[in-house]
Structure 1
Amino acid sequence: MDENTRYMAAGDRALVMEFGNEINTRINEKIRAMTIALDQRKIKGVVEVVPTYRSLMIHYHPLTVSFQALKKQLVELEETLQEIELPAPDVMVIPTLYGGEYGPDMATVTAHSGLTEEEVIQIHTSRDCLIYMLGFTPGFPYLGGMDERIATPRLETPRTKIRGGSVGIAGKQTGIYSIDSPGGWQLIGWTPVPLYDPESEKPFLLKAGNYVRFESITEADYQKIKPQIENRSYRCNVISRQGGEIHG
Protein backbone atom coordinates (compact mmCIF):
# COMPACT_ATOMS: atom_id res chain seq x y z
CA MET A 1 0.00 0.00 0.00
CA ASP A 2 1.21 3.50 -0.83
CA GLU A 3 2.07 5.20 2.46
CA ASN A 4 0.12 8.26 1.33
CA THR A 5 -3.11 6.36 0.72
CA ARG A 6 -5.77 6.56 3.41
CA TYR A 7 -8.64 4.06 3.68
CA MET A 8 -11.70 5.51 5.38
CA ALA A 9 -15.25 4.35 6.03
CA ALA A 10 -18.02 6.49 4.55
CA GLY A 11 -21.03 5.12 6.36
CA ASP A 12 -21.67 1.39 6.31
CA ARG A 13 -21.83 1.01 2.52
CA ALA A 14 -18.86 2.91 1.14
CA LEU A 15 -15.08 3.06 1.50
CA VAL A 16 -12.94 6.02 0.47
CA MET A 17 -9.39 5.65 -0.83
CA GLU A 18 -7.70 9.03 -0.43
CA PHE A 19 -4.51 9.28 -2.51
CA GLY A 20 -3.32 12.71 -1.40
CA ASN A 21 -4.31 16.18 -0.31
CA GLU A 22 -3.85 18.20 -3.48
CA ILE A 23 -5.06 18.40 -7.07
CA ASN A 24 -2.43 17.15 -9.50
CA THR A 25 -2.03 14.82 -12.47
CA ARG A 26 0.02 12.23 -10.54
CA ILE A 27 -2.83 11.61 -8.11
CA ASN A 28 -5.32 11.64 -10.98
CA GLU A 29 -3.33 8.91 -12.75
CA LYS A 30 -3.47 6.74 -9.61
CA ILE A 31 -7.23 7.22 -9.41
CA ARG A 32 -7.65 6.31 -13.09
CA ALA A 33 -5.43 3.24 -12.69
CA MET A 34 -7.29 2.07 -9.58
CA THR A 35 -10.63 2.55 -11.36
CA ILE A 36 -9.43 0.37 -14.25
CA ALA A 37 -8.00 -2.22 -11.83
CA LEU A 38 -11.32 -2.45 -9.98
CA ASP A 39 -13.20 -2.85 -13.25
CA GLN A 40 -10.87 -5.68 -14.23
CA ARG A 41 -10.84 -7.43 -10.83
CA LYS A 42 -14.61 -7.23 -10.28
CA ILE A 43 -14.46 -7.64 -6.51
CA LYS A 44 -17.58 -9.37 -5.21
CA GLY A 45 -19.85 -6.93 -3.42
CA VAL A 46 -18.57 -3.75 -5.08
CA VAL A 47 -21.50 -1.82 -6.54
CA GLU A 48 -20.08 1.44 -7.88
CA VAL A 49 -16.80 3.36 -8.08
CA VAL A 50 -16.86 7.18 -7.97
CA PRO A 51 -13.63 9.09 -8.77
CA THR A 52 -13.00 12.58 -7.39
CA TYR A 53 -10.08 15.02 -7.48
CA ARG A 54 -7.96 13.12 -4.97
CA SER A 55 -9.92 10.08 -3.89
CA LEU A 56 -12.00 7.12 -4.97
CA MET A 57 -15.28 6.24 -3.27
CA ILE A 58 -16.17 2.58 -3.52
CA HIS A 59 -19.78 1.64 -2.77
CA TYR A 60 -20.32 -1.96 -1.65
CA HIS A 61 -22.88 -4.38 -0.20
CA PRO A 62 -21.90 -4.85 3.47
CA LEU A 63 -23.66 -8.22 3.62
CA THR A 64 -21.52 -9.47 0.73
CA VAL A 65 -18.14 -8.05 1.72
CA SER A 66 -17.06 -6.41 4.98
CA PHE A 67 -15.10 -3.16 5.23
CA GLN A 68 -11.95 -4.96 6.40
CA ALA A 69 -12.20 -7.68 3.74
CA LEU A 70 -12.70 -5.08 1.03
CA LYS A 71 -9.82 -2.97 2.34
CA LYS A 72 -7.52 -6.01 2.26
CA GLN A 73 -8.36 -6.67 -1.39
CA LEU A 74 -7.94 -3.00 -2.30
CA VAL A 75 -4.52 -2.84 -0.63
CA GLU A 76 -3.45 -5.88 -2.66
CA LEU A 77 -4.86 -4.34 -5.82
CA GLU A 78 -3.11 -1.04 -5.20
CA GLU A 79 0.24 -2.82 -5.19
CA THR A 80 -0.37 -3.85 -8.82
CA LEU A 81 -1.13 -0.39 -10.19
CA GLN A 82 2.23 -0.09 -11.93
CA GLU A 83 1.08 -2.94 -14.17
CA ILE A 84 -1.98 -1.00 -15.34
CA GLU A 85 -1.60 0.64 -18.74
CA LEU A 86 -3.64 3.81 -18.86
CA PRO A 87 -5.38 4.37 -22.20
CA ALA A 88 -4.30 7.45 -24.15
CA PRO A 89 -6.76 10.20 -23.22
CA ASP A 90 -8.93 11.91 -25.80
CA VAL A 91 -9.47 15.64 -26.22
CA MET A 92 -13.07 16.73 -26.73
CA VAL A 93 -13.27 20.01 -28.66
CA ILE A 94 -16.12 22.10 -27.23
CA PRO A 95 -17.42 24.93 -29.49
CA THR A 96 -18.02 27.99 -27.31
CA LEU A 97 -19.58 31.42 -27.78
CA TYR A 98 -17.74 33.94 -25.59
CA GLY A 99 -18.77 37.24 -24.02
CA GLY A 100 -21.89 39.34 -24.50
CA GLU A 101 -25.14 37.63 -23.56
CA TYR A 102 -23.30 34.30 -23.49
CA GLY A 103 -20.65 35.42 -21.00
CA PRO A 104 -22.15 38.02 -18.67
CA ASP A 105 -19.13 37.99 -16.32
CA MET A 106 -16.50 38.48 -19.01
CA ALA A 107 -16.05 42.11 -17.90
CA THR A 108 -15.31 40.94 -14.36
CA VAL A 109 -12.63 38.53 -15.61
CA THR A 110 -11.01 41.16 -17.81
CA ALA A 111 -11.01 43.70 -14.97
CA HIS A 112 -9.55 41.19 -12.51
CA SER A 113 -6.86 39.97 -14.92
CA GLY A 114 -6.08 43.28 -16.60
CA LEU A 115 -6.46 41.57 -19.99
CA THR A 116 -8.70 42.34 -22.93
CA GLU A 117 -11.65 40.13 -23.81
CA GLU A 118 -9.77 38.85 -26.88
CA GLU A 119 -6.78 37.94 -24.68
CA VAL A 120 -8.99 36.11 -22.17
CA ILE A 121 -10.57 34.08 -24.98
CA GLN A 122 -7.19 33.31 -26.52
CA ILE A 123 -5.83 32.13 -23.17
CA HIS A 124 -8.94 30.10 -22.31
CA THR A 125 -8.83 28.26 -25.65
CA SER A 126 -5.05 27.73 -25.68
CA ARG A 127 -4.80 24.80 -23.26
CA ASP A 128 -6.27 21.32 -23.06
CA CYS A 129 -7.92 21.02 -19.64
CA LEU A 130 -7.90 17.70 -17.80
CA ILE A 131 -11.29 16.40 -16.66
CA TYR A 132 -10.52 15.50 -13.07
CA MET A 133 -14.06 14.51 -12.15
CA LEU A 134 -17.75 14.88 -12.95
CA GLY A 135 -20.04 16.12 -10.21
CA PHE A 136 -22.22 18.84 -8.64
CA THR A 137 -24.83 18.17 -11.34
CA PRO A 138 -24.95 15.23 -13.81
CA GLY A 139 -22.06 15.61 -16.25
CA PHE A 140 -20.57 18.83 -14.80
CA PRO A 141 -16.80 18.61 -15.50
CA TYR A 142 -14.26 19.96 -13.04
CA LEU A 143 -11.34 20.93 -15.24
CA GLY A 144 -7.71 21.46 -14.31
CA GLY A 145 -4.88 23.12 -16.19
CA MET A 146 -6.41 26.52 -16.88
CA ASP A 147 -3.89 29.33 -17.26
CA GLU A 148 -3.75 31.17 -13.94
CA ARG A 149 -3.57 34.54 -15.69
CA ILE A 150 -7.36 34.43 -16.03
CA ALA A 151 -8.09 32.96 -12.59
CA THR A 152 -10.96 34.90 -11.00
CA PRO A 153 -12.75 34.47 -7.63
CA ARG A 154 -16.28 33.13 -7.53
CA LEU A 155 -19.27 35.45 -7.35
CA GLU A 156 -19.87 36.83 -3.85
CA THR A 157 -23.57 35.98 -4.27
CA PRO A 158 -24.32 32.89 -6.39
CA ARG A 159 -27.01 33.03 -9.05
CA THR A 160 -30.17 31.05 -8.40
CA LYS A 161 -30.27 29.81 -12.01
CA ILE A 162 -27.55 29.41 -14.62
CA ARG A 163 -28.24 28.20 -18.14
CA GLY A 164 -26.98 24.73 -18.96
CA GLY A 165 -23.93 24.94 -21.22
CA SER A 166 -22.55 28.05 -19.50
CA VAL A 167 -18.75 28.08 -19.29
CA GLY A 168 -17.36 29.54 -16.11
CA ILE A 169 -14.29 30.27 -14.02
CA ALA A 170 -13.99 29.81 -10.25
CA GLY A 171 -10.56 30.60 -8.87
CA LYS A 172 -8.03 28.54 -10.84
CA GLN A 173 -10.68 26.17 -12.20
CA THR A 174 -12.87 26.27 -15.26
CA GLY A 175 -15.96 24.19 -15.95
CA ILE A 176 -19.23 23.84 -17.84
CA TYR A 177 -22.69 23.82 -16.30
CA SER A 178 -24.27 20.66 -17.64
CA ILE A 179 -27.89 21.60 -16.84
CA ASP A 180 -29.81 24.63 -15.60
CA SER A 181 -28.81 25.03 -11.95
CA PRO A 182 -27.73 27.51 -9.27
CA GLY A 183 -24.05 28.44 -9.24
CA GLY A 184 -21.41 30.97 -8.33
CA TRP A 185 -18.87 30.73 -11.13
CA GLN A 186 -17.92 33.70 -13.31
CA LEU A 187 -19.60 33.08 -16.67
CA ILE A 188 -17.48 33.88 -19.72
CA GLY A 189 -19.21 31.88 -22.45
CA TRP A 190 -21.74 29.23 -23.44
CA THR A 191 -21.62 26.03 -25.46
CA PRO A 192 -24.70 24.79 -27.33
CA VAL A 193 -23.47 21.19 -27.04
CA PRO A 194 -25.43 19.22 -24.39
CA LEU A 195 -23.19 17.64 -21.78
CA TYR A 196 -25.98 15.53 -20.31
CA ASP A 197 -28.80 13.79 -22.15
CA PRO A 198 -30.77 11.38 -19.92
CA GLU A 199 -32.55 9.92 -22.95
CA SER A 200 -29.32 8.94 -24.70
CA GLU A 201 -27.72 5.51 -24.55
CA LYS A 202 -24.60 7.33 -23.35
CA PRO A 203 -26.01 10.22 -21.28
CA PHE A 204 -22.66 11.85 -20.44
CA LEU A 205 -20.65 13.61 -23.15
CA LEU A 206 -17.45 13.84 -21.10
CA LYS A 207 -15.41 11.34 -19.12
CA ALA A 208 -12.97 11.80 -16.25
CA GLY A 209 -9.38 11.31 -17.38
CA ASN A 210 -9.95 12.84 -20.81
CA TYR A 211 -9.44 16.49 -21.78
CA VAL A 212 -11.52 19.43 -22.97
CA ARG A 213 -10.33 21.97 -25.51
CA PHE A 214 -12.50 25.08 -25.82
CA GLU A 215 -12.91 26.43 -29.35
CA SER A 216 -14.20 29.97 -29.89
CA ILE A 217 -17.03 30.16 -32.44
CA THR A 218 -19.08 33.03 -33.85
CA GLU A 219 -22.83 33.46 -33.88
CA ALA A 220 -22.76 32.48 -37.57
CA ASP A 221 -20.89 29.28 -36.70
CA TYR A 222 -23.50 28.50 -34.06
CA GLN A 223 -26.38 28.97 -36.49
CA LYS A 224 -24.72 26.47 -38.86
CA ILE A 225 -24.48 23.71 -36.25
CA LYS A 226 -27.71 24.54 -34.40
CA PRO A 227 -29.93 22.23 -36.54
CA GLN A 228 -27.56 19.32 -35.96
CA ILE A 229 -27.59 19.95 -32.22
CA GLU A 230 -31.38 20.13 -32.17
CA ASN A 231 -31.76 16.81 -34.02
CA ARG A 232 -28.96 15.22 -31.97
CA SER A 233 -26.74 14.53 -34.96
CA TYR A 234 -23.92 16.93 -34.01
CA ARG A 235 -20.65 15.34 -32.94
CA CYS A 236 -17.80 17.25 -31.34
CA ASN A 237 -14.34 16.74 -32.80
CA VAL A 238 -12.31 14.31 -30.71
CA ILE A 239 -8.53 14.26 -30.89
CA SER A 240 -6.22 11.64 -29.44
CA ARG A 241 -3.45 12.94 -27.18
CA GLN A 242 -1.22 10.53 -29.12
CA GLY A 243 -2.00 12.53 -32.24
CA GLY A 244 -4.66 12.43 -34.93
CA GLU A 245 -8.33 13.18 -35.15
CA ILE A 246 -10.58 10.27 -34.22
CA HIS A 247 -13.87 11.55 -35.59
CA GLY A 248 -15.79 14.72 -36.23
Structure 2
Amino acid sequence: MTLTEHARYSWGGDEFLLVEIAPDMSLEANFVANAMAAGLEEQELDGIVDICPANASLLIRFNPDELPHADLERAVRALEAEVKQATVQELNTRIIEVPVWYDDPFTSETETRFREGYHQRPEGSDLDYSAEVNGLANAAEFIRRHHETPWLVSMVGFVAGLPFLFQLTPRERQLQVPKYLSPRTDTPPLTLGYGGCFTAHYSVRGAGGYQMLGITPGPIFDPEQKLPDFADFMVLFRTGDIVKYRPIDEAEYTEIRARVEAGTFRYKQAPVRFTLAEALADPDAYNRTLLEALDVA
Protein backbone atom coordinates (compact mmCIF):
# COMPACT_ATOMS: atom_id res chain seq x y z
CA MET A 1 0.00 0.00 0.00
CA THR A 2 1.49 3.32 -1.09
CA LEU A 3 -0.71 5.52 1.10
CA THR A 4 1.59 5.93 4.06
CA GLU A 5 0.24 9.21 5.45
CA HIS A 6 -2.67 9.25 7.87
CA ALA A 7 -6.05 10.32 6.55
CA ARG A 8 -7.45 13.73 7.43
CA TYR A 9 -10.37 13.67 9.91
CA SER A 10 -12.93 16.50 9.95
CA TRP A 11 -16.19 16.92 11.84
CA GLY A 12 -19.32 18.17 10.07
CA GLY A 13 -21.50 19.56 12.83
CA ASP A 14 -22.51 17.05 15.49
CA GLU A 15 -23.50 14.15 13.24
CA PHE A 16 -20.86 13.72 10.52
CA LEU A 17 -17.27 12.54 10.36
CA LEU A 18 -15.39 13.01 7.07
CA VAL A 19 -12.27 10.90 6.50
CA GLU A 20 -10.19 12.17 3.55
CA ILE A 21 -7.94 9.30 2.48
CA ALA A 22 -6.02 11.27 -0.16
CA PRO A 23 -6.37 14.57 -2.06
CA ASP A 24 -6.64 12.80 -5.44
CA MET A 25 -8.50 9.80 -6.79
CA SER A 26 -6.46 6.63 -7.14
CA LEU A 27 -7.19 2.93 -7.06
CA GLU A 28 -5.32 2.68 -3.75
CA ALA A 29 -7.23 5.53 -2.09
CA ASN A 30 -10.57 4.21 -3.29
CA PHE A 31 -9.72 0.72 -2.04
CA VAL A 32 -8.99 2.11 1.44
CA ALA A 33 -12.29 4.01 1.47
CA ASN A 34 -14.27 0.93 0.42
CA ALA A 35 -12.43 -1.42 2.79
CA MET A 36 -12.96 0.96 5.72
CA ALA A 37 -16.66 1.25 4.87
CA ALA A 38 -17.01 -2.53 4.73
CA GLY A 39 -15.12 -2.98 8.00
CA LEU A 40 -17.19 -0.35 9.77
CA GLU A 41 -20.39 -1.97 8.57
CA GLU A 42 -19.23 -5.34 9.91
CA GLN A 43 -18.58 -3.84 13.35
CA GLU A 44 -22.26 -2.81 13.66
CA LEU A 45 -21.48 0.00 16.09
CA ASP A 46 -24.52 1.40 17.86
CA GLY A 47 -25.19 4.95 16.67
CA ILE A 48 -23.97 4.60 13.08
CA VAL A 49 -26.69 5.99 10.79
CA ASP A 50 -25.04 5.84 7.37
CA ILE A 51 -21.66 5.03 5.77
CA CYS A 52 -20.87 6.68 2.43
CA PRO A 53 -17.56 5.78 0.73
CA ALA A 54 -16.53 8.08 -2.14
CA ASN A 55 -13.67 8.37 -4.63
CA ALA A 56 -10.97 9.07 -2.03
CA SER A 57 -12.90 9.68 1.17
CA LEU A 58 -15.42 8.26 3.60
CA LEU A 59 -18.37 10.09 5.17
CA ILE A 60 -19.97 8.69 8.30
CA ARG A 61 -23.25 9.90 9.77
CA PHE A 62 -23.85 8.98 13.39
CA ASN A 63 -26.01 9.75 16.42
CA PRO A 64 -23.77 11.46 19.02
CA ASP A 65 -26.24 10.56 21.78
CA GLU A 66 -25.52 6.88 21.15
CA LEU A 67 -21.91 7.05 19.92
CA PRO A 68 -19.59 9.72 21.39
CA HIS A 69 -17.31 11.55 18.96
CA ALA A 70 -14.13 10.29 20.59
CA ASP A 71 -15.28 6.66 20.50
CA LEU A 72 -16.17 6.89 16.80
CA GLU A 73 -12.87 8.51 15.86
CA ARG A 74 -10.92 5.95 17.84
CA ALA A 75 -12.71 3.07 16.09
CA VAL A 76 -12.29 4.57 12.62
CA ARG A 77 -8.59 5.37 13.10
CA ALA A 78 -7.97 1.80 14.25
CA LEU A 79 -9.80 0.55 11.17
CA GLU A 80 -7.71 2.80 8.91
CA ALA A 81 -4.50 1.38 10.36
CA GLU A 82 -5.79 -2.18 10.01
CA VAL A 83 -6.71 -1.72 6.34
CA LYS A 84 -3.41 -0.06 5.41
CA GLN A 85 -1.27 -2.56 7.32
CA ALA A 86 -3.04 -5.67 6.07
CA THR A 87 -0.73 -8.12 4.31
CA VAL A 88 -3.35 -8.77 1.63
CA GLN A 89 -5.78 -6.04 0.62
CA GLU A 90 -8.90 -7.70 -0.77
CA LEU A 91 -12.58 -6.92 -1.24
CA ASN A 92 -15.31 -9.46 -1.87
CA THR A 93 -17.43 -7.90 -4.59
CA ARG A 94 -19.06 -8.76 -7.94
CA ILE A 95 -18.63 -8.08 -11.64
CA ILE A 96 -21.68 -6.96 -13.64
CA GLU A 97 -22.10 -6.91 -17.42
CA VAL A 98 -23.93 -3.79 -18.63
CA PRO A 99 -25.19 -3.67 -22.25
CA VAL A 100 -24.70 -0.29 -23.98
CA TRP A 101 -26.00 1.07 -27.28
CA TYR A 102 -23.12 3.38 -28.14
CA ASP A 103 -23.73 6.28 -30.55
CA ASP A 104 -27.50 5.93 -30.15
CA PRO A 105 -30.13 8.31 -31.59
CA PHE A 106 -31.44 9.49 -28.19
CA THR A 107 -28.18 11.03 -26.97
CA SER A 108 -27.35 12.13 -30.53
CA GLU A 109 -30.57 14.15 -30.70
CA THR A 110 -29.85 15.73 -27.32
CA GLU A 111 -26.34 16.67 -28.45
CA THR A 112 -27.69 18.67 -31.38
CA ARG A 113 -29.66 20.87 -28.98
CA PHE A 114 -26.62 21.61 -26.79
CA ARG A 115 -23.69 22.46 -29.04
CA GLU A 116 -23.33 26.19 -29.62
CA GLY A 117 -22.54 27.89 -26.31
CA TYR A 118 -22.38 24.60 -24.40
CA HIS A 119 -19.72 22.48 -26.08
CA GLN A 120 -16.02 22.94 -26.83
CA ARG A 121 -16.57 21.68 -30.37
CA PRO A 122 -19.95 22.78 -31.78
CA GLU A 123 -19.44 20.67 -34.89
CA GLY A 124 -19.27 16.88 -34.70
CA SER A 125 -20.43 14.73 -31.79
CA ASP A 126 -19.44 14.01 -28.20
CA LEU A 127 -17.86 10.73 -29.31
CA ASP A 128 -15.89 12.47 -32.06
CA TYR A 129 -14.61 15.01 -29.56
CA SER A 130 -13.78 12.34 -26.97
CA ALA A 131 -11.71 10.44 -29.54
CA GLU A 132 -9.92 13.60 -30.66
CA VAL A 133 -8.81 14.77 -27.22
CA ASN A 134 -7.43 11.28 -26.51
CA GLY A 135 -5.47 11.21 -29.75
CA LEU A 136 -7.53 8.33 -31.15
CA ALA A 137 -8.32 7.76 -34.81
CA ASN A 138 -12.11 7.96 -34.54
CA ALA A 139 -15.17 7.42 -32.38
CA ALA A 140 -15.10 3.67 -33.00
CA GLU A 141 -11.65 3.43 -31.41
CA PHE A 142 -12.81 5.41 -28.39
CA ILE A 143 -15.80 3.07 -28.01
CA ARG A 144 -13.50 0.04 -28.19
CA ARG A 145 -11.15 1.49 -25.59
CA HIS A 146 -14.14 2.25 -23.36
CA HIS A 147 -15.69 -1.21 -23.32
CA GLU A 148 -12.65 -3.50 -23.62
CA THR A 149 -11.55 -3.11 -19.97
CA PRO A 150 -13.56 -3.33 -16.73
CA TRP A 151 -14.47 -0.38 -14.52
CA LEU A 152 -14.63 0.03 -10.75
CA VAL A 153 -17.62 1.75 -9.14
CA SER A 154 -15.73 4.30 -7.06
CA MET A 155 -18.79 6.03 -5.59
CA VAL A 156 -22.57 6.29 -5.91
CA GLY A 157 -24.37 9.60 -5.51
CA PHE A 158 -25.08 13.08 -6.87
CA VAL A 159 -28.58 11.88 -7.84
CA ALA A 160 -30.26 8.67 -6.73
CA GLY A 161 -28.43 5.59 -7.96
CA LEU A 162 -25.89 7.38 -10.18
CA PRO A 163 -22.50 5.62 -10.13
CA PHE A 164 -19.08 7.05 -10.96
CA LEU A 165 -16.70 4.49 -12.44
CA PHE A 166 -12.91 4.42 -12.66
CA GLN A 167 -11.19 2.50 -15.46
CA LEU A 168 -9.09 -0.47 -14.36
CA THR A 169 -6.13 0.20 -16.62
CA PRO A 170 -2.69 1.77 -16.18
CA ARG A 171 -2.92 5.54 -15.73
CA GLU A 172 -1.11 6.24 -19.00
CA ARG A 173 -3.89 4.39 -20.87
CA GLN A 174 -6.83 5.88 -19.04
CA LEU A 175 -9.27 7.89 -21.11
CA GLN A 176 -9.53 11.58 -20.16
CA VAL A 177 -12.33 13.81 -21.46
CA PRO A 178 -13.31 17.37 -20.40
CA LYS A 179 -16.90 18.05 -19.40
CA TYR A 180 -19.11 20.41 -21.41
CA LEU A 181 -18.17 24.08 -21.09
CA SER A 182 -21.67 24.72 -19.71
CA PRO A 183 -23.99 22.00 -18.37
CA ARG A 184 -26.93 20.81 -20.44
CA THR A 185 -30.42 21.21 -19.03
CA ASP A 186 -31.39 17.80 -20.42
CA THR A 187 -29.85 14.32 -20.52
CA PRO A 188 -31.80 11.17 -21.49
CA PRO A 189 -32.29 8.67 -18.67
CA LEU A 190 -29.72 5.84 -18.59
CA THR A 191 -27.20 7.86 -20.61
CA LEU A 192 -23.59 6.74 -20.29
CA GLY A 193 -21.45 9.88 -19.88
CA TYR A 194 -17.77 10.70 -19.52
CA GLY A 195 -16.03 13.52 -17.66
CA GLY A 196 -12.45 13.77 -16.45
CA CYS A 197 -11.36 10.17 -15.85
CA PHE A 198 -14.83 8.95 -14.85
CA THR A 199 -17.72 7.25 -16.56
CA ALA A 200 -21.05 8.35 -15.09
CA HIS A 201 -24.24 6.39 -15.59
CA TYR A 202 -27.22 8.79 -15.44
CA SER A 203 -29.99 7.04 -13.52
CA VAL A 204 -32.76 9.52 -14.40
CA ARG A 205 -33.43 12.29 -16.89
CA GLY A 206 -31.97 15.67 -15.92
CA ALA A 207 -29.17 18.17 -16.29
CA GLY A 208 -25.61 17.04 -16.96
CA GLY A 209 -22.24 18.10 -18.24
CA TYR A 210 -20.50 14.85 -19.14
CA GLN A 211 -19.85 13.91 -22.78
CA MET A 212 -22.57 11.48 -23.88
CA LEU A 213 -21.38 8.12 -25.24
CA GLY A 214 -24.52 6.03 -25.48
CA ILE A 215 -27.52 4.68 -23.61
CA THR A 216 -28.30 1.50 -21.68
CA PRO A 217 -31.56 -0.49 -21.84
CA GLY A 218 -31.56 -1.75 -18.25
CA PRO A 219 -32.47 0.47 -15.28
CA ILE A 220 -29.99 1.15 -12.49
CA PHE A 221 -32.50 2.80 -10.14
CA ASP A 222 -35.81 1.03 -9.51
CA PRO A 223 -37.71 2.68 -6.62
CA GLU A 224 -40.62 0.27 -7.07
CA GLN A 225 -38.22 -2.70 -7.05
CA LYS A 226 -40.04 -4.49 -9.85
CA LEU A 227 -37.04 -6.31 -11.32
CA PRO A 228 -35.32 -9.26 -9.56
CA ASP A 229 -31.95 -7.45 -9.41
CA PHE A 230 -33.57 -4.82 -7.16
CA ALA A 231 -35.24 -7.17 -4.70
CA ASP A 232 -32.89 -6.15 -1.88
CA PHE A 233 -32.43 -2.46 -2.71
CA MET A 234 -33.73 0.09 -5.21
CA VAL A 235 -30.18 1.03 -6.37
CA LEU A 236 -28.26 -1.46 -8.53
CA PHE A 237 -24.65 -0.39 -8.04
CA ARG A 238 -22.61 -0.45 -4.85
CA THR A 239 -19.16 1.01 -4.34
CA GLY A 240 -16.58 -1.65 -5.11
CA ASP A 241 -18.67 -3.24 -7.87
CA ILE A 242 -16.80 -3.98 -11.10
CA VAL A 243 -18.56 -3.29 -14.40
CA LYS A 244 -17.91 -4.62 -17.91
CA TYR A 245 -19.70 -2.71 -20.66
CA ARG A 246 -20.87 -4.74 -23.66
CA PRO A 247 -21.78 -2.95 -26.91
CA ILE A 248 -25.18 -3.80 -28.41
CA ASP A 249 -27.16 -2.68 -31.48
CA GLU A 250 -30.68 -1.30 -31.86
CA ALA A 251 -32.26 -4.75 -32.19
CA GLU A 252 -30.80 -6.01 -28.92
CA TYR A 253 -31.59 -2.72 -27.19
CA THR A 254 -35.25 -3.13 -28.19
CA GLU A 255 -35.29 -6.77 -27.10
CA ILE A 256 -33.84 -5.96 -23.67
CA ARG A 257 -36.28 -3.07 -23.20
CA ALA A 258 -39.12 -5.54 -23.82
CA ARG A 259 -37.75 -7.83 -21.09
CA VAL A 260 -37.46 -4.84 -18.74
CA GLU A 261 -41.12 -4.00 -19.35
CA ALA A 262 -42.08 -7.64 -18.79
CA GLY A 263 -40.16 -7.73 -15.52
CA THR A 264 -37.87 -10.57 -16.60
CA PHE A 265 -34.60 -8.78 -17.33
CA ARG A 266 -31.56 -9.75 -15.24
CA TYR A 267 -28.05 -8.34 -15.33
CA LYS A 268 -25.36 -10.94 -15.94
CA GLN A 269 -23.09 -10.93 -12.88
CA ALA A 270 -20.71 -13.06 -10.87
CA PRO A 271 -19.00 -12.84 -7.46
CA VAL A 272 -15.30 -11.94 -7.52
CA ARG A 273 -12.57 -11.17 -5.01
CA PHE A 274 -10.73 -7.99 -5.89
CA THR A 275 -7.07 -8.05 -4.84
CA LEU A 276 -5.41 -4.64 -4.96
CA ALA A 277 -1.79 -5.82 -5.27
CA GLU A 278 -2.56 -8.08 -8.24
CA ALA A 279 -4.57 -5.34 -9.96
CA LEU A 280 -1.66 -2.91 -9.62
CA ALA A 281 1.10 -5.38 -10.49
CA ASP A 282 -0.26 -6.58 -13.85
CA PRO A 283 -3.53 -4.80 -14.75
CA ASP A 284 -4.02 -6.51 -18.10
CA ALA A 285 -3.58 -10.03 -16.76
CA TYR A 286 -5.72 -9.30 -13.72
CA ASN A 287 -8.50 -7.83 -15.84
CA ARG A 288 -8.60 -11.06 -17.83
CA THR A 289 -9.21 -13.04 -14.65
CA LEU A 290 -12.05 -10.69 -13.70
CA LEU A 291 -13.69 -11.06 -17.10
CA GLU A 292 -13.35 -14.85 -16.97
CA ALA A 293 -15.76 -14.82 -14.03
CA LEU A 294 -18.43 -13.40 -16.35
CA ASP A 295 -17.73 -16.06 -18.97
CA VAL A 296 -18.84 -18.81 -16.59
CA ALA A 297 -21.69 -16.86 -14.98
Tell me the TM-score normalised to structure 2 length.
Answer: 0.76
Q: Residues 30 and 154 of structure 2 are in contact (CA less than 8 Å); yes or no, is this contact kept in structure 1? A: yes
1:69-104 deviation per Cα after TM superposition (whole angstroms, max 9, x unaligned): 211222233333328974443221111111142443
What secondary structure does 1:162 align onto? coil
Distance of 1:135 and 1:180 partners within structure 2? 15
Distance of 1:189 and 1:85 partners within structure 2? 34
1:170-206 deviation per Cα after TM superposition (whole angstroms, max 9, x unaligned): 1222121011121101101000110101111321111
Structure 1: segments with no counterpart, 5+ residues: none
Greater fraction strand: 1
1:209 aligns with 2:211: no
Q: Which amino acid aligns with 1:210?
A: D
Correspondence for 1:98 = 102
- Measured after TM superposition, the shift of residue 246 of structure 1 is 8.4
Q: Which amino acid aligns with 2:244?
A: R
- Of 44, 53, 56 in structure 1, the residue corresponding to residue 55 of structure 2 is 53
- Measured after TM superposition, the shift of residue 40 of structure 1 is 1.6
Greater fraction helix: 2
1:124 aligns with 2:128: no
1:97-154 deviation per Cα after TM superposition (whole angstroms, max 9, x unaligned): 1114244322332343442122111111111011100011111111111775642211
Correspondence for 2:67 = 65
Aligned-pair Cα RMSD in Å: 2.3
Correspondence for 2:34 = 32
Correspondence for 2:212 = 187
What secondary structure does 1:213 align onto? strand
Figure out how many residues of one structure are paired with residues of the other and give that number: 247
Structure 2: segments with no counterpart, 5+ residues: 109-125, 226-230, 273-289
Q: Residues 102 and 188 of structure 1 are in contact (CA less than 8 Å); yes or no, is this contact kept in structure 2? A: no
Correspondence for 2:190 = 165
Distance of 1:165 and 1:213 partners within structure 2? 16
Q: Residues 95 and 294 of structure 2 are in contact (CA less than 8 Å); yes or no, is this contact kept in structure 1? A: no
Q: Residues 192 and 214 of structure 2 are in contact (CA less than 8 Å); yes or no, is this contact kept in structure 1? A: yes
Give matches, 1:198-237, under 5 Å: 198-200=223-225, 201=231, 202-237=233-268
1:208-248 deviation per Cα after TM superposition (whole angstroms, max 9, x unaligned): 10111111101111122221111221112114445433886
What secondary structure does 1:214 align onto? strand
Say which is worse superposed, 58-67 or 86-95, in terms of deviation: 86-95
